[in-house]
A and B are shown apart, each in its own frame.
Chain A
Amino acid sequence: MSIKLKDVNLTYSPGTPFSADALIDVNLEIERNQIVAVIGHTGSGKSTLVQVMAGLQKPSSGEVLMDDFVMYKKDTDRKKLRRKVGMAFQYPEHQLFEETVERELSFGLVKQGRSSEEIQEQIHKAMHFSKLTDDMLIRSPFELSGGQMRRLAIASVIAMEPDYLILDEPTAGLDPAGRDEILSGLQAWQKETHKTVILVSHSMEDVAKLADQILVLANGRLLMSGSTAEVFSRSAELQQVGLDVPQMTALMLALREKGWDVPKYAMNVDEAFLAIRSVLRRARS
């Protein structure tokens, strides 16, 4: 049970002077029950990649499989596909359109033909993870604050409870408090439902905090795929393709250059603290 991409290539406007290779020879596999981050420089193909995974962008060549279900074939069951994978684009609050929050949340579920009991259950579950309150149900989505609208838009995708939840920069444009709310909600949702969350992100600190697996794209190709620790310890390669490393990792590397015996990688402030303290303690004794 996984998402598999086999020899996927995607070229926009092929055969014209505007043709552009968005994805080149991509082979990857994403297992279930984890949080995967997709990182890469601007224009590396991240957004294209996740859209291919979401069944929204057909590749020029190659195969895309989701739990052995083949996408992009003439006879592909689209309705089945929509139940398996959900996607929230950048600035998802720009897609809100319903009269009430409740209708916005139920939109996808109604389209799936679910019963009203199911719909209510799903809506409330989604609201719990997105920290939306019941009093909002009857209000218009456009009365909400920016942060609330964002959470609503994401909740409307979560409500459909897809096996694979894909989000393109879910925290774009939010302040630190807003980002925290979204990310902690996603983490909690994933922990409880054991589904797979795939997110595109530019914040290395967020990725370090949340991700189990990281996919690194550069110039349309998959440069690296591995655990968070594995990927961030290859900082020289990351920097070569225009990516930053999380601040704590950058510190570890700088200290190692000074001869310090610290790991190549620190996931957060606490890890960095412990590593530095142990060196300082040894130096003292």
Chain B
Amino acid sequence: MNMLKGVTIGQHYPADSMIHKMDARFKIIMILLYVVALFTAAGPISYIIMILFAMFVIVSAKIPYRLILRGLRPILWIVGFTLILHTFSTQEGTVIWQWSRFSIYNGGILRGIMMGLRLILLISITSLLTLTTTPIDLTDGLEALLKPFKKIGLPAHELAMMMTIALRFVPTLIEEADKIIKAQTARGADFEEGGLIARGKSMLPILVPLFISAFRRADDLAMAMEARCYRGGEHRTKMKELKSSMQDYMGLAILTLLLILMAFFRFAQIDSWQALL
């Protein structure tokens, strides 16, 4: 439960910033562009540009650094692991340290750092999306972006509705799980004893009630939604409409330029990690 409090993906941080005000559809596309640019980036200069860009966005979004750092804490061990993995397995460049069978190449360290940085930037930027966009704007944005795919049978509205409802009920279900765990513990249920199979079975007193409750909620909710005249996405309007503005198009243009720049640096071989070896 306490671990969940540290996760910033999914949480919203209200603030009055330009980023907050941007259209969710554009933000989603911009994140995608950033991610592609990140994977295209091929050298130290590119990475520095990507890092600076991320920092610039965080500052403009008026998000306190500690929030981003807190969101990174759960994945720090993955980053560390990645670093160590690449350090010891990659055999590029020159050897800088050797001990019996183990050798560390400077290329390995470089690659480890690069992979670690990628992860950090990935998580930071994604957190930024949810921190600056309310859940309903996010799902509205996704719905709008997926609408063209309705023609090939993608239920865009239903997917968006599912996401909204899931986001709405996650905290409620967590609370309920907590209560169920306590109640079963009070009856002597033990979740820490035994081998894998025993532990799996010991989850039944929690999972069965939780699932039953979830189904009941779904039933009740469907009835309540129907009672409020819900009948799918047709002819439905929205109180909060997504309105694009100059800033959104500018943001899109900047991200596109960033991607082009990264691609250029890579394919024109202007910037590459090899240069450091």
Give Cα A157–Cα B187 distance, bound, in whole angstroms: 7
Nearest-Cβ distance from residue A160 to partner chain B, whole angstroms: 7
- Report yes or no: B188 in contact with A95, Cβ–Cβ below 8 A: no
**Number of A-B pairs, beta carbon distance below 8 Å:** 55
Partner of B186, one of A56, A79, A112: A56
Interface assignment of B185: CB less than 8 Å from any CB of chain A? yes
Min C-beta distance of A59 to chain B, whole Å: 15
Cα(A128)–Cα(B212), bound, Å = 28
Partner of B180, one of A57, A88, A95, A112: A95
- Judged by a CB distance under 8 angstroms, whether A86 is at the interface is yes
Asked if A89 and B183 make an inter-chain contact with CB atoms under 8 angstroms apart, the answer reads yes
Q: Is the CB of B185 within 8 A of A95?
A: no
Residues on B with C-beta less than 8 A from A57 are 182
Q: What residue of chain B has the Cβ atom nearest to residue A78's Cβ?
A: B190
Asked if B204 lies at the interface with its beta carbon under 8 angstroms from chain A, I say yes
Neighbour of A160 across the interface among B184, B188, B209, B213, CB < 8 A: B188
Q: Is B189 an interface residue (CB 8 A)?
A: yes
- Which of A79, A86, A94, A112 is packed against the most chain B CB atoms within 10 Å? A94
Determine which of A79, A94, A142, A156 lies in contact with B187 in the assembled complex, contact meaning CB atoms within 8 Å: A156
A75-116: which residues lie under 8 A (CB-CB) from chain B? 79, 82, 85-89, 92, 94-97, 107-108, 111-112
Q: What separation, in Å, do the CA atoms of A156 and B189 have in the docked complex?
A: 13
B183 and A92: CB pair below 8 A? yes
Rounded to whole angstroms, the CA-CA distance of A187 and B261 in the bound complex is 78
**Contact at B186–A86, with CB atoms within 8 Å?**
yes
* Chain A residues, Cβ within 8 Å of B188: 79, 82, 107-108, 111-112, 160
Whether A108 touches B182, Cβ cut-off 8 Å, given contacts A94-B213, A95-B205, A142-B212, is: no
Assuming A111-B188, A111-B190, A160-B188, is B182 touching A97 (CB within 8 A)? no
Min distance, Cβ B5 to any Cβ of chain A, angstroms = 8
Q: A248-269: contact bitstring with B at CB < 8 Å (1 yes, 0 no)?
A: 0000000000000000000000
A51 contacts B by Cβ under 8 Å: yes
CB <8 Å contact, B182 and A56: yes
- Complex CA distance for A88 and B176, rounded to whole angstroms: 15
**Is A94's CB under 8 angstroms from B186's CB?**
no
In the docked arrangement, what's the CA distance between A73 and B225, Å? 49
A54 at the interface (CB under 8 A from B): yes
Nearest-Cβ distance from residue A237 to partner chain B, whole angstroms: 32
Residue of B nearest to A51 (CB): B182
User: When chains A and B are docked, how far (Å) is the Cα of A87 from the Cα of B180?
Assistant: 12
Contact call A108/B187, Cβ cutoff below 8 A:
yes
- CB-CB under 8 A from B190, the residues of chain A are 111
Contact check, A107 vs B205: say whether CB atoms are below 8 A apart.
Answer: yes
Is B179 part of the contact surface with A, judged by Cβ < 8 Å?
yes
- Using CB atoms and an 8 Å cutoff, list the residues of chain B in contact with chain A: 176, 179-180, 182-190, 204-205, 208-209, 212-213
18 A–B contacts from the bound complex (CB under 8 Å): A54-B186, A57-B182, A82-B188, A86-B186, A87-B183, A89-B179, A89-B183, A89-B186, A92-B183, A94-B176, A94-B209, A95-B184, A97-B204, A107-B188, A107-B189, A111-B188, A112-B188, A157-B187
Closest 3 CB pairs of A and B: A111-B188, A97-B208, A108-B187
- List 18 additional A-B contacts (Cβ < 8 Å) besides A89-B186, A107-B189, A107-B205: A51-B182, A54-B186, A56-B185, A56-B186, A57-B182, A79-B188, A82-B186, A86-B186, A87-B183, A89-B182, A92-B183, A94-B209, A94-B213, A95-B205, A97-B204, A108-B187, A111-B187, A157-B187
